[in-house]
A and B are shown apart, each in its own frame.
Chain A
Amino acid sequence: MAREAKALSAELMSRREAMIRIGALMGGTMVGAQALLSGCATQDARPANELFSAADVAYLDEIAETILPETGTPGAKAAGVGAFMTVMVADTYRADEQAVFMRGLETMNEECLAQHGVSFMAATAAQRTALLERLDREQFDYMRNRRPGAPVHYFRMLKELTLQGYFTSEIGYTEAMRYIEAPGRFDPCVPYSPGDRIFAPHA
């Protein structure tokens, strides 16, 4: 897994923060414009309103909620992750990546029919979880053995967008994590107990 960018440059902290973000996500291979130095042709990429219907947003919300459900904190659906995914796929994905993503949504529904005999939207929470656990294992193994240049697995795209959309939402910052806008001081060492949440970043 590529962690290399993580350590780059305290010289410009925004630079370091950016590299940390990208570097960690390179474990999942950032897709589209979010991947630095990507250079594919992009002319055929389509806008969100051509790619996605309201039903698609509802479908994406349910996928995201299955990946990150409500627990003691709100889930991905409450954080608007479905709509976020449509914006990101439309604005930051290249045409070939958009195609993988869109085809993947269909594939996933077919997988659900094959596994449970119902569509994803008609499936129970337990059925959805069972399906996504299987697809998560599939993408995990695929991504580990992926040849350079081969497409990213569609479920990796869904998972990455869900994580990003959730943790960078207002709910993610202020409820899933602890967001203190102006900490006012730096304590270099504070006690940590399991269950304490992340202090969220800024900038």
Chain B
Amino acid sequence: MQSNTYDAIVVGSGISGGWAAKELSERGLQVLWLERGKNVEHIRDYVNATRGPWEYPHRGGRTVAMEEAYPVLRRDYPLNEKNLDWWASDQDSPYTEIRRFDWFRGYQVGGRSLLWGRQSYRLSDFDFEANARDGIAIDWPIRYADVAPWYDHVERFAGISGSRENMAQLPDGRFQPAMALNCGEEIVASRLPNAFDGQRRLIPGRVANLTEALPGRAPCQYRNACWLGCPYGAYFSTQASTLPAAMATGRTRLVPFSIVTEIVYDRDRRRATGVRVLDAVSERWTEYSAPIVFLCASALNSTWILMRSATDVWPGGLGSSSGELGHNLMDHHFRVGAEGALEEPGLDGQYYYGRRPTGFYIPRYRNLFGDRRPYLRGFGYQGSASREGWQRAVGELGIGGAFKDAMAEPGPWRIGATAFGEMLPAHSNRLGIDASRTDKWGLPVLKIDCGLGENELAMRADMMNDMAETLEAAGVRDVRTFEADYAPGMGIHEMGTARMGRDPATSVLNEWNQVWDAPNVFVTDGACMTSAACQNPSLTYMALTARAVDHAVAELNRRNL
């Protein structure tokens, strides 16, 4: 019989939860690590990782039956034949959309760390100071200097490949060697310093794929099959990285199929005492106790747990005394940009070898360094150059042997990018609990009410036109802009809803990610974000989690928790 009392409880096993379990157990704590979904064992359970792409009946695509079973997932690329087991079931776990919100979830050990895009960028003080400078929402309680050593710490362990660029808005990190730009990208990169006062720079995407081995992990083999799980452990995931470290301590117990339904709160001591858990298979209830709890269940689910906790004291749940719990939901808005043809002399004689699991990045330049636009904040671009594949044949005229052989050769070079824009925190973008509707386990579901504001809509015009202007300035021909359908959530960067701040009257968490109303509860996933910046956020969750653990253990030792 296992004891139900631990030194710490970690809820969730994705990117943030993995870091919490690793750091807590390495500091000597006995850690109970809870995951709502099934186990996925490193390598052994990557069942499609080395399967030939031709082995799928629909070649990886989607069927009508799949679309009917996944009414949300079908809205974008995640509905596919290759790794569908790693995307949460819309039918088992429904939610209510007051306005459309695309929520793509990963309910298994490793969470979305198995599936993520791996782009890894630091925030800078332009981001941490933004709210205060603009008079938007509330100020972050921290600055870059508070997080910088923790970015160092997590980058070294996770393994981030990237180039040093000395850009104030995108601080350099502890990088492994970058994955190079290809010939086509290099041409555009080389021309941008002579345009736009050198403010627009095209650099290799910084990505959590190894270019040098780390203990137990091989460097990237350039298969670009990351989202099937990597048998080489070459990209950062819970399984490849934080889980082995947490288990190596001998102090971590991982329990899959454990749905945490609330934090148990002692109103007299003003502390959490543990969590209540529903076994997803047996549907039995268990209570676990620990002096500290880390909520890393993903932004929306961590907030759902808080909303269901301590409701005898605060009807809106633990952390709701500020009036901000569940509010200020953010994502990155994207799917807008431009692309065109690279028709450079000699480039037809160039190709590339290997499937690089990243592209290029153009860091933010708007509303920085004296630039002023009729909106706040900015955006970065992610894209790539490549030679067209056989798919171009569908729209071309032709049949027969010569046509077939021509289409088996790479086509013309093209280059393009999509912008990822910052979304301002808005009190009206919010979560609630829909008591009228339950999930497979009889638990009330979330309702989500979120939309883009005027600032985002104004920014999108630049997000589209700037890319066309940038490509044209670099000599790209036949440039076309695009704007595809975007709904909040599609970025899969859910942030906010339990923000950090300096004042318990206006924030849910303090500067150490502690819930003001229960300082032994830490929330270190996307829920904690006070603003969204425009950089991909996961690296920041890693750093904030490691930083919060350091503080938690120090406070525990000082007997302050």
A198 x B389 contact (CB < 8 A): yes
Indicate with 1 or 0, residue by residue over B179-218, a CB within 8 angstroms of chain A CB atoms: 1111100100000000000000000010000000000000
Is B400 located at the chain interface by the 8 A CB criterion?
yes
**The residue from B54, B335, B396, B403 contacting A172, defined by CB atoms under 8 A apart:** B54
Cα A182 to Cα B353 with chains together (Å): 11
* A186 partner residues in chain B, CB cutoff 8 A: 179-180, 220, 222, 352-356
Given contacts A34-B62, A203-B224, contact A8 B53 (CB under 8 A): no
Interface residues of B (CB under 8 A from A): 50, 52-54, 57-68, 74-77, 80, 82, 115-119, 179-183, 186, 205, 220-228, 334-335, 337-339, 348-361, 382-384, 386-401, 403-405, 407-410, 414-418, 420, 480, 482-485, 492, 536
Given contacts A4-B484, A133-B399, A193-B349, contact A36 B390 (CB under 8 A): no
* A201 partner residues in chain B, CB cutoff 8 A: 53, 224, 355, 389
A203 x B410 contact (CB < 8 A): no
Tally chain A residues at the interface, Cβ within 8 Å: 91
A183-B222, A201-B224 are known; give 10 further A-B pairs, CB within 8 A.
A6-B414, A12-B77, A16-B384, A24-B391, A68-B403, A69-B400, A92-B64, A167-B407, A181-B223, A199-B410
* B53 partner residues in chain A, CB cutoff 8 A: 168, 173, 200-203
A7 x B183 contact (CB < 8 A): no
A88 x B408 contact (CB < 8 A): no
In the complex, how many angstroms separate the beta carbon of B508 from the nearest chain A beta carbon?
Answer: 28
B116 x A12 contact (CB < 8 A): yes
A19 x B77 contact (CB < 8 A): yes
A36 x B76 contact (CB < 8 A): yes
Given contacts A17-B224, A27-B394, A199-B351, contact A33 B64 (CB under 8 A): yes
In the complex, how many angstroms separate the beta carbon of A68 from the nearest chain B beta carbon?
Answer: 4
**The residue from B57, B354, B397 contacting A140, defined by CB atoms under 8 A apart:** B397
A42 x B64 contact (CB < 8 A): yes
In the complex, how many angstroms separate the beta carbon of B23 from the nearest chain A beta carbon?
Answer: 26
B409 x A183 contact (CB < 8 A): no
Q: Which residue of B lies closest to A176 (CB)?
A: B408
* B182 partner residues in chain A, CB cutoff 8 A: 188-189
Is A169 located at the chain interface by the 8 A CB criterion?
yes
Cα A1 to Cα B492 with chains together (Å): 29
Q: Which residue of B lies closest to A203 (CB)?
A: B225
Q: Which residue of A lies closest to B380 (CB)?
A: A11
6 cross-chain pairs, A with B, having the tightest CB-CB distances, nearest first: A7-B416, A27-B395, A10-B359, A4-B482, A12-B117, A24-B391
* B68 partner residues in chain A, CB cutoff 8 A: 42
Q: Which residue of B lies closest to A35 (CB)?
A: B62
Q: Which residue of A lies closest to B355 (CB)?
A: A202
* A20 partner residues in chain B, CB cutoff 8 A: 386, 389, 391
* B417 partner residues in chain A, CB cutoff 8 A: 7, 10
* A185 partner residues in chain B, CB cutoff 8 A: 222, 353-354
Cα A12 to Cα B360 with chains together (Å): 12
Q: Which residue of B lies closest to A155 (CB)?
A: B399
A192 x B348 contact (CB < 8 A): yes
B80 x A18 contact (CB < 8 A): yes
Which one of A100-108, A111-119, A158-166 contacts B?
A: A158-166
Cα A153 to Cα B360 with chains together (Å): 38
Is A5 located at the chain interface by the 8 A CB criterion?
yes
Cα A16 to Cα B410 with chains together (Å): 18
Q: Which residue of A lies closest to B357 (CB)?
A: A13
* A173 partner residues in chain B, CB cutoff 8 A: 52-54
Q: List 8 A-B contacts (CB under 8 A).
A: A3-B482, A6-B416, A19-B77, A24-B395, A66-B400, A170-B54, A172-B390, A203-B224
Is A94 located at the chain interface by the 8 A CB criterion?
yes
Q: Which residue of B lies closest to A143 (CB)?
A: B395
Residue from A160, A165, A185 whose CB has the most chain B CB atoms within 10 Å: A185
Cα A4 to Cα B336 with chains together (Å): 9
Number of A-B contacts (CB under 8 A): 292
Indicate with 1 or 0, residue by residue over A24-37, a CB within 8 angstroms of chain B CB atoms: 11011000111011
In the complex, how many angstroms separate the beta carbon of A203 from the nearest chain B beta carbon?
Answer: 4
A188 x B348 contact (CB < 8 A): no
Given contacts A69-B400, A185-B353, A186-B352, contact A202 B63 (CB under 8 A): no
Residue from B54, B179, B225 whose CB has the most chain A CB atoms within 10 Å: B54
Cα A133 to Cα B398 with chains together (Å): 7
B399 x A24 contact (CB < 8 A): no
Cα A27 to Cα B67 with chains together (Å): 23
* A42 partner residues in chain B, CB cutoff 8 A: 64, 67-68
B54 x A169 contact (CB < 8 A): yes
In the complex, how many angstroms separate the beta carbon of B140 from the nearest chain A beta carbon?
Answer: 24
* B384 partner residues in chain A, CB cutoff 8 A: 10, 16
Cα A40 to Cα B60 with chains together (Å): 22
Is A60 located at the chain interface by the 8 A CB criterion?
no
* A160 partner residues in chain B, CB cutoff 8 A: 394
Cα A5 to Cα B337 with chains together (Å): 10
A92 x B399 contact (CB < 8 A): no
In the complex, how many angstroms separate the beta carbon of B521 from the nearest chain A beta carbon?
Answer: 31
Cα A45 to Cα B225 with chains together (Å): 33
In the complex, how many angstroms separate the beta carbon of A101 from the nearest chain B beta carbon?
Answer: 14
A11 x B119 contact (CB < 8 A): yes
A203 x B394 contact (CB < 8 A): no
Q: Which residue of B lies closest to A167 (CB)?
A: B390
In the complex, how many angstroms separate the beta carbon of A69 from the nearest chain B beta carbon?
Answer: 5
A71 x B348 contact (CB < 8 A): no
Q: Which residue of A lies closest to B482 (CB)?
A: A4
**The residue from B60, B335, B353, B361 contacting A199, defined by CB atoms under 8 A apart:** B353
* B415 partner residues in chain A, CB cutoff 8 A: 7
Cα A92 to Cα B74 with chains together (Å): 13
Cα A159 to Cα B394 with chains together (Å): 7
**The residue from A93, A163, A170, A192 contacting B390, defined by CB atoms under 8 A apart:** A163
* B387 partner residues in chain A, CB cutoff 8 A: 198
Q: Which residue of B lies closest to A135 (CB)?
A: B399
In the complex, how many angstroms separate the beta carbon of A73 from the nearest chain B beta carbon?
Answer: 7
Given contacts A27-B392, A182-B221, contact A196 B409 (CB under 8 A): yes
Cα A3 to Cα B411 with chains together (Å): 14
Is A197 located at the chain interface by the 8 A CB criterion?
yes
Given contacts A34-B62, A45-B64, A188-B186, contact A14 B180 (CB under 8 A): no
**The residue from B335, B395, B397, B484 contacting A137, defined by CB atoms under 8 A apart:** B397
Q: Which residue of B lies closest to A184 (CB)?
A: B221
